[in-house]
Amino acid sequence: MTIVQRKEGIIIIDPLISFECAAATSNICQTHHDPEKQRRVTGMICSHSHGDHYMGAQDVLPPGQALAIPIIAPEGFMEAVMSESVIAGPAMRQRAAFMYGRTLPRRPQGYIGVGLGMGSSIGSTSLIPPNLMIQNTGEEHVVDGVRIVFQMVPETEALAEINFHFPGFQALCIPEIATYLTLRGAQVRDAKAWSRYLDEAIVLFGSEPDVVFGSHNWPTWGRKELINKLAEQRDMYAYLHDQTVRMMNLGGVEAVCAQAEDFIQRRDLRFAATLLHHAVAAYSEISKPKTILASAYKKLAHGAENATWRNLYLTGAQRLRTRRQVRMVARSRTLLEPNPSVEQWFSILSVQVNGERAAEKSLVIDFNVTDANEKWRLLVSNGVLIHRRLCRSSGQLIDDRPDLQMVLSKQDLLEVLRGNDVECKKQEGRREAVQELLTLTSVSQGSARGPSQL
């Protein structure tokens, strides 16, 4: 978390991963710079859509203040959060258990940290929706008297991301600059695009700032030094992309296990592990590639400087040798309700439909959400759940007259989708249609529900 201090207020950048972490940082700042607690939060910037950059926001904002100050984020922020952290959340948390060494013993031969620190917070979290979306590179806003110039950099560290410059402070924020491939399963970054955006940042801002800083590591001071830093990172990403494309077209290998052992002897452990991974995937019943791969993983782990890579390799070796299942990282659920839109709720529900079970089922349910002033139609057809926004021009098709029509509030709709009984303002048709819909989804499966559920 970065704090921009003004005479009467502060602007917060990336309010960390949990309430507890954000509160501790805020208290340290107040102790040293505002012991009488006279400065209030006058603005917030969430640089991108990863949880460690927004989930602690609620604890640093006084109650009710979220609507009174600009909360800035890049266009597509909420969609990216829903896609990565909610819809694909369970699968990603399973991989995070590897990355963060969930099952490893805390000792020198096992778990020693998580790269950026000794551990990742599992405290309370929230999602405060932004109210000012950045849409274009070069867009400017003034917050508490501070001029901020933004650069759109989508599909770099995150699907939705921004860089920004403070001309009055001669300070450039490049929130993320060093992570091309996260081990927890987030989408692989576009190295070529990242290279281009870094070059664009040099052109747009390079002649002005005296310091470049990020969200995780130390700043780089000096105009020449910061340009060199950005240029070297730009060239690294371009080289990674261009040479990978060139070499991936050179052909494959045969006799994978023999070749892999040869590469292990030559200390080319990562390439050996890549070869063996394919062998294990193709011939899971054969023990030899598993044994060799576990050995390669262990060697890689004990040679890794970064704790998250060490955890990943050791957990992989542990699973190959013992078949021990890795538990998901426990964390309190993100407080999404009632912030997501009705459309986002339906998007979440749609990926929880059991296609085989729904294949022969047809349902049409209309919801009139009065306080949101929205009308929606849910259709179960050919094993999928379609959600359609209804408007005055929407035609009535002969073959999809609704089985049920409900008039209700947004909160009551959430309770309905959770399988709870509520008294609607008005309903027509078969009330059991809702239960029929929910039996087609994992919402109705009790303890089997995953953390992506509503």
Q: Tell me the pLDDT band of 452, cut-offs 50, 70 and 90.
A: very low
pLDDT for res 286:
82
Residues present in the chain in total: 454
Residue 316 has pLDDT above 90, yes or no: yes
pLDDT digits (tens, 9 = 90+) for 108-139: 999 999 888 888 888 999 899 999 999 999 99
Mean pLDDT for 95-109 is 90
DSSP codes joined into one string, 402-441: -SEEEEE-HHHHHHHHTT-----SEEEE-THHHHHHHTTB
Mean pLDDT for 65-80 is 91
Domains and CATH numbers, the chain: 2-187+205-220 (3.60.15.30), 256-322 (1.25.40.880), 342-445 (3.30.1050.10)
Rounded to whole angstroms, how far apart are CA atoms 82 and 77? 9
pLDDT digits (tens, 9 = 90+) for 185-221: 778 888 889 999 999 999 999 999 999 999 998 999 9
Percentage above 70 pLDDT, the chain: 89
Residue 106 has pLDDT above 50, yes or no: yes
Residue 334 has pLDDT above 60, yes or no: no
Residue 254 has pLDDT above 90, yes or no: no
Q: Which parts of 249-306 fold into alpha helices (H)?
A: 256-265, 269-282, 287-302
**In contact, 292 and 264? CB cutoff 8 Å:** yes
pTM to 2 decimals?
0.70
Mean pLDDT for 241-270 is 78
Residue 269 has pLDDT above 70, yes or no: yes
Lowest mean pLDDT among 192-196, 242-246, 380-384: 242-246
Rounded to whole angstroms, how far apart are CA atoms 450 and 331? 12
Q: Give the pair of three-digit tokens for residue 55.
A: 């989930």
Q: Give the pair of three-digit tokens for residue 235.
A: 């060239």
CA–centroid distance for 425 within its chain: 37
**In contact, 259 and 253? CB cutoff 8 Å:** yes
Tell me which residue has tokens 């780089």: 220
pLDDT for res 320:
92
Rounded to whole angstroms, how far apart are CA atoms 294 and 125? 36
Mean pLDDT for 294-322 is 94
Strand partners of residue 126: 335
pLDDT for res 64:
74
Q: Which parts of 115-268 fold into alpha helices (H)?
A: 191-205, 223-248, 256-265
Residue 24 has pLDDT above 70, yes or no: yes
Q: Tell me the pLDDT band of 332, cut-offs 50, 70 and 90.
A: very low
Q: Is the dihedral of CA 261, 264, 266, 272 positive or negative?
A: positive
Q: Give the pair of three-digit tokens for residue 445.
A: 């499966």
